[in-house]
Amino acid sequence: MSKILSKTDASGARRLRHQQQRNENIIGYVFVTPALLAFLMFIAFPFFFSLFLSLTEWNFLSGIQNLKFVGLENFRELLRDRRFGKAFFNTFTYALATVPTSILIALVLAYLLNGKVYGKKLLRLFFFIPYISSAVALSAVFKFMFREDGIINNILMSLHIVTSPVKWFTNPQLNKVPIVLLLIWTAIGYELIIYMAALQNIPKSLLEASELDGATGFRQFVHITFPLISPTTFYLVIVRLISAFKVFSAIDVMTLGSKALDNTSMVVQIYDEAFTKYNFGYASAEAVVLFAVILIITLINFWGQKKWVHY
C-alpha cells in the first residue's frame, strides 16, 4: 500500500516538475522576447543583409530590379581601390597613434590620482569632460583652433617655435595631427575611470608587503602594480582599438567644406560611398571589411585573455 502511494507521489512530483519547467520556459520567453525582437530587427537582420549586399553591385537609386549579384567582385575591387586603401591605412595610423599614447597618459594619471592628492574629484572632472562631451562640438573647436589663423598657430608663433603659420589641414604631412590629438584628448577620461577602478582593486596588503621588501615608488609600480593591472591594460587596448577603427565624427567635422582625401577613415569612406553615391553594394563590402577587422581584434581579445595576461 505504502509502496503504491509513493509511486504515485513520485510521478505526480515529476509531472509537477515538468509542468513547472514548461511554465519557466514560457515566462522566460515572455521576458526575453522584446529584446530578441529588437535584436533580430536591428542587429541580426541588417547584419546578414549587409553580408548579402556586399556580394552585389547595386546603386540604391537605380531601384531593386537593377541589383546584380557579383560574388566576391567587390572585394577584389577593394584590393585595387586606392581610395579605400588610403582610408584603411589611415584608420590603422589613427589607431596606432592614439591607443598607446592615450593609455600611457591615462595610466600615469590614474596612478598619480590614486595616491595622496588634493581636490581629487575636481581634478578627475577635468579629464572626464572631454570624454563625455559631444564629439562634434569638440571637433568643431579643434577645427577652429588649428586653423591657419587660429590660436594654436598664434601660440606657437608667439613662443617662436615656428616662424610662419602651420598649415595643419592642408599639409598632408600634418593633417592627421589635429585629429590624433583630439582622439587622445577625448579617450583619456574613459581609460582613466577604468584604470582608477582597477588600481583600487589591488589589495593593499600586496603593496605593503612589497614595501617591506624594499620596493617603493617606480620599482613598485613596474614590478607589482603594472603586472597586477595587466588585464585592464589589455582590455583597454582592445576596446580602444575597436573604437579607433570606427572613427568618424572627428574626421567628418574637420574635413567639412574641404574634402581632403588624405585623412579619410574607413567609416568616412563607407558613409561617402553609401550616402553620397548610394553605391550600396560596394559600400557594404567596405563595411564587411570593417567588421572583419573588428572581428579579428575581438578574437585576439578572447585568445589573449588567456595567454598574455599574467600576474
Partner 1 sequence: MKKQKIAKALLVTLIIALLGVLFMIPLVWMVLSSLKNANEVFATEFHWLPSEFRWSNYVEVWTSKDMSLVQAYLNSFFIVVFATVGQLVIAAYAAFAFAKINFKGKNFIFMLFLSSMMIPTQVTIIPRFMMFKEMGLYNKLFSIILPSWFGATAIFMLRQFFMGLPDDLMDAAKIDGAGYLRIFHTIMLPLTKPAMVSLIVLSFIASWNEYLSPMIFLTEKTKYTVAQAIRWYLLDQLSRYDLTMACATSAIVPVIILFIVCQKYFVEGIATSGLKG
Residues 6+ apart with CB under 8 A from 225: 111, 199, 202, 207
Which member of 19, 62, 66, 298 binds partner 1 (CB under 8 A)?
Answer: 298
C-alpha 103/C-alpha 202 separation (Å) is 19
Nearest residue to 227 via CA among 162, 122, 310:
310
Nearest residue to 96 via CA among 299, 300, 237:
237
Which member of 10, 13, 43, 61 binds partner 1 (CB under 8 A)?
Answer: 43
Least distance in angstroms from the C-beta of 4 to partner 1: 29
Nearest residue to 244 via CA among 255, 236, 254, 253:
236
Distance of CA 40 to the CA centre of its chain: 23
C-alpha 88/C-alpha 94 separation (Å) is 10
| DSSP strands (E only) in the chain | 56-57, 68-69
Touching partner 1, residues 160-199 (CB under 8 A): 185, 188, 190, 193-194, 196-198
> How far does the chain reach from its first CA to its final CA, in angstroms?
65
Least distance in angstroms from the C-beta of 96 to partner 1: 19
Question: Does 92 engage in binding with partner 1 (CB under 8 A)?
Answer: no
Query: Which single residue is written with the C-alpha cell 596606432?
Result: 96
Which range of residues in 77-85, 202-210, 220-228, 247-255 is near partner 1 by CB under 8 A? Answer: 247-255
Count interface residues toward partner 1 (CB under 8 A): 93
Least distance in angstroms from the C-beta of 89 to partner 1: 18
Least distance in angstroms from the C-beta of 269 to partner 1: 10
Identity of the residue, 6 or 62, whose beta carbon is nearer to partner 1 in the bound complex: 62
C-alpha 7/C-alpha 19 separation (Å) is 18
Task: Give the dihedral sign, CA 165/86/244/283.
Answer: positive
Which member of 11, 25, 170, 171 binds partner 1 (CB under 8 A)?
Answer: 25
Question: Does 34 engage in binding with partner 1 (CB under 8 A)?
Answer: yes
Least distance in angstroms from the C-beta of 261 to partner 1: 19
279 in Cβ contact with 81 (< 8 Å): no
Which range of residues in 26-34, 67-75, 85-93, 219-227 is near partner 1 by CB under 8 A? Answer: 26-34
Question: Does 63 engage in binding with partner 1 (CB under 8 A)?
Answer: no
Question: Does 244 engage in binding with partner 1 (CB under 8 A)?
Answer: no
Which range of residues in 3-11, 21-29, 75-83, 167-175 is near partner 1 by CB under 8 A? Answer: 21-29
Which range of residues in 1-9, 79-87, 92-100, 112-120 is near partner 1 by CB under 8 A? Answer: 112-120
Which range of residues in 87-95, 168-176, 241-249, 303-311 is near partner 1 by CB under 8 A? Answer: 241-249
